């Protein structure tokens, strides 16, 4: 499955299961660890885990086994690694605190403004 197809599938499953504020970040030019990061807000820690479980179930049906899951029922951030797509399911408080969208939107500086004297 191509990365674009996978991210579309993930977005659909999260939307279908009431994930809030789904954001897709294309990080292909910023990192080699993944192509896309999907950030979604859940209504509770249980909802976060359920969202990741639904995505895992649907991707397994497509023959793709997740590489790993970090976080549990009491976590305010659950990470699901699908290789080309990483899902960050977060509570509203955790999402506001960590601001992943802002972190990954920072571009590399073109030139240094410091001079060696």
- The pLDDT > 70 percentage for the chain reads 90
Residue range 3-105, CATH number: 3.30.460.10
Domain chopping of the chain, boundaries: 3-105
Predicted confidence at residue 107, as pLDDT, reads 59
Angle separating helix axes 3-16 and 45-61, nearest 10 degrees: 140
Q: Which of 94-106 are b and which e, b meaning 16 or more Cβ less than 10 Å from the residue's Cβ? A: bbeeeebeeeeee
Nearest Cα to 72, choosing from 102, 39, 48? 48
Q: Which two tokens stand for residue 102?
A: 């802002």
| pTM for the model | 0.86
**Lowest-confidence region among 12-21, 39-48, 71-80:** 71-80
Band of residue 117 on the pLDDT scale cut at 50, 70, 90: very low
Residues 53-82: pLDDT tens digits?
A: 999 999 999 999 999 999 887 889 999 999
């Amino acid at each position: 499955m191509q990365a674009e197809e996978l991210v579309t599938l993930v977005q659909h499953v999260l939307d279908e299961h009431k994930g809030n504020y789904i954001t897709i970040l294309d990080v292909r030019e910023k990192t080699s660890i993944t192509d896309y990061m999907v950030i979604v807000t859940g209504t509770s820690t249980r909802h976060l885990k359920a969202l990741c479980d639904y995505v895992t179930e649907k991707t397994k049906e497509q023959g793709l086994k997740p590489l790993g899951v970090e976080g549990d029922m009491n976590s305010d951030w659950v990470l699901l690694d699908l290789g080309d797509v990483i899902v960050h399911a977060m509570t509203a408080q955790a999402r506001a605190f960590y601001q992943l969208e802002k972190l990954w939107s920072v571009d590399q500086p073109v030139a240094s403004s410091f001079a060696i004297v």
